[in-house]
Amino acid sequence: MSEEINGHRWGFKDTAFEIVDPKTKSVKMTGDRYNLAGYEIPQMVPFIEDTFQVRLDVSKPKPDATRKPLAKPKTNAAFLKAITPALRDDQLSTEESQRLIHSHGQTTADEVYKVLYGEIEKVCDLVVFLETEQQAAAVIKAADEHNICVVPYGGGTSVSCALKLPAGEQRMIVVMNTRGMNRIEWLDTENMKASVQAGISGKELEEELGKRGYTCGHEPDSIELSTLGGWIATNASGMKKNRYGNIEDVVKGVTMITPKGEVRQLDAHARVSVGVQPKDITFGSEGNLGLITSAVIKVHKKPEVTKYNSLVFADWSTGVSFMRELGNTGILPASIRLVDNIQFRSGNALKPAPTFKSKAMSKAQKTVLLNIKKFEPYELVAATIVMEGSAKEVAWQDKHIKSVAKKFGAVVGGPSNGKRGYMLTYAIAYIRDFLASYDIIGETYETTVPWDKVEDVCDAVLARAKELHEEYDLPGVPYVSPRLTQIYHTGACIYFTHGFCTQGVEDPATVFSEIEHSLRETILETGGSLSHHHGIGKLRKDFMSQVLSKDAITMLQGIKKSIDPNNTFGIANNVMES
């Protein structure tokens, strides 16, 4: 299984969805990395066509843009001379492929679509592959002295345009790749914490901790690619936050190198009251303040048992009511996510052609859901569940969840459906890239919503998406599908998937970006937050005056000025200016 990353598209090179037969429109996922791989999927494209109400010509995938030579990179001889003692020649690259890859993230319309089918506005001049904190400090010091713009880069998975380079930046732009800083520096098993370099990916972190019998437990959708430093810089959340916490709960101490020196709290205790803590300004810093080089994190013993399950409810409103009541009990599994009817049916569309046995099982399930429970096939929804802990703890969680679910008329779907639904998360971005080749553009975006506004926000987004679809005279119908991915005492995270067909649409990337912006306005107007865990970047920065007071913004800009007066970290995300 190759670990080679897939350039501008999402994920790994050995993994992609491909058309097996243009006549039948059957699809197959390559490689053996995921449980979707290795079999033909006959219903995926027909389901897409039916849902979008369009017909796709799968015999003619959209060709990638012809690569034009990049502009010659800017150079700064004094800067290059200053960093020479700290770095080997093979740690510096001006190759066009590296410069291009390090000049964008994974935002669909504003970055990926443009780099694949058009042209991005700005490309960096030099990529530096860091391996030590000392090298990082040397590069930052030289950049500050010689008027260079530096940009931190970890896994490259940002979906908020946080890696999009400011179009007006005139200085030499140097991207600092931290993936070489990927070691666990120490593991304290008595106090259950570890010091870890910030360039480690979630996959590497779990593998290394797992060898020693431990886990971090932070599991975002991008865990295979995203890094510890990126999690902190975006204030990330993981799928198992109920058990292990969000990133602010996981991290006990942070080291960040700024042009004015090292920002670090000297001791990473369980909790302290020492005034405003320096580590707190690193959460959501989005590359504006400095380079996060390491963090002290909580670790846990690997769970004795991991158990999956699933539940089916009559409709979205019933499922949301269940999630709310379960949240209020305070007894939660590691992960529980509610998907709407469209995603429930899309999960079925990703299954292989049915065998005699699976047909019989499906018929029995339909009998229970449709004939006995009287669920409507285009209204029912499902929850996927992951429980972790000791065998006794998991058994208690399972019993408790089922008892609450029974009040809402749920049907238990079983562990295989639960595991399959949970693992589908890793396929979403691959599906996005596959569909982009056949004139479907789509993206996910998220928000935090008070419990009493969940259905209002979902209804408003769907209604506004339909209005915009007509206004832009787009083919077919829009795809708008929510899922409830995180639950809290006072509200929940809604994760929307949105897309539309681009057949005959001029400049689809711009159209999608404008529609996404309008839908974000709708979310805010209806009571949702600007972001739950993707961050602000440049995609949402013009909404910041609606979520922070003018004086709060001035305070944050003042912090930036105090530790980076020359704007050496000039990525200009969030409320920061270029």
Burial class (CB in 10 A: 0-12, 13-18, 19+), 300: middle
pLDDT at position 401? 98
What is the identity of the amino acid at 48?
I
- The rounded distance, in Å, linking the Cα atoms of 449 and 490 is 9
Contact present, 400 and 329 (Cβ < 8 Å): yes
Torsion from C-alpha of 7, 13, 17, 23, nearest 10 degrees = 100
Q: Which amino acid is at 517?
A: H
Are 383 and 338 in contact by the 8 Å Cβ rule? The answer is yes
Residue ranges in the chain modelled with pLDDT below 70: 1-2, 355-364
Give CA angle at 75 (71, 77), nearest 5°.
165
- Looking at residue 123, its pLDDT comes to 97
* Structural domains for the chain: 77-178 (3.30.43.10), 184-301 (3.30.465.10), 439-544 (3.30.300.330)
Q: How far apart are CA 74 and CA 330, in angstroms?
A: 56
472 is catalytic: no
537 torsion bin: left (phi>0), alpha (psi -120 to 50), beta (else):
left
- Catalytic-labelled residue, pool 214, 445, 479, 495: 495
- DSSP-assigned letters across all residues of 199-219: T-BHHHHHHHHHHTTEE----
Q: Is the distance from CB of 11 to CB of 225 less than 8 angstroms?
A: yes
Return the DSSP state at 232. Answer: H
Question: By C-alpha distance, which of 381, 400, 393 is closest to 342?
Answer: 381
pTM of the predicted model as reported, rounded to 2 decimal places: 0.96
pLDDT at residue 464, as a whole number: 98
| pLDDT value for 407 | 97
11 Rama sector, left if φ>0, alpha if ψ -120 to 50, beta otherwise: left
Q: Which residues pair with 498 in a beta bridge?
A: 443, 480
The pLDDT value recorded for residue 1 is 62
CB 306 within 8 A of CB 395: no
pLDDT digits (tens, 9 = 90+) for 352-400: 987 655 555 566 677 778 878 888 999 999 999 999 999 999 999 999 9
Contacts of 223 (CB under 8 A, 6+ apart): 201, 202, 203, 206, 238
SS3 305: strand
Helix (H, G, I), strand (E, B) or coil at 483: strand
Beta-carbon neighbour count of residue 4 at 10 Å?
8
Give the count of beta carbons closer than 10 Å to the beta carbon of residue 262: 13
**29: part of which helix (H) or strand (E)?**
strand 26-29
- Tell me which residue of 401, 402, 411 sits closest to 369, measured CA to CA: 411
- Residue 246 tokens, joined: 């969000």
**What is the pLDDT, as a whole number, of residue 359?**
55
| Burial class of residue 456 (count of CB atoms within 10 Å of its CB; 0-12, 13-18, 19+) | middle
**Contact in structure between 342 and 479 (CB atoms under 8 Å):** yes
* Kind and range of the H or E run holding 176: strand 173-177
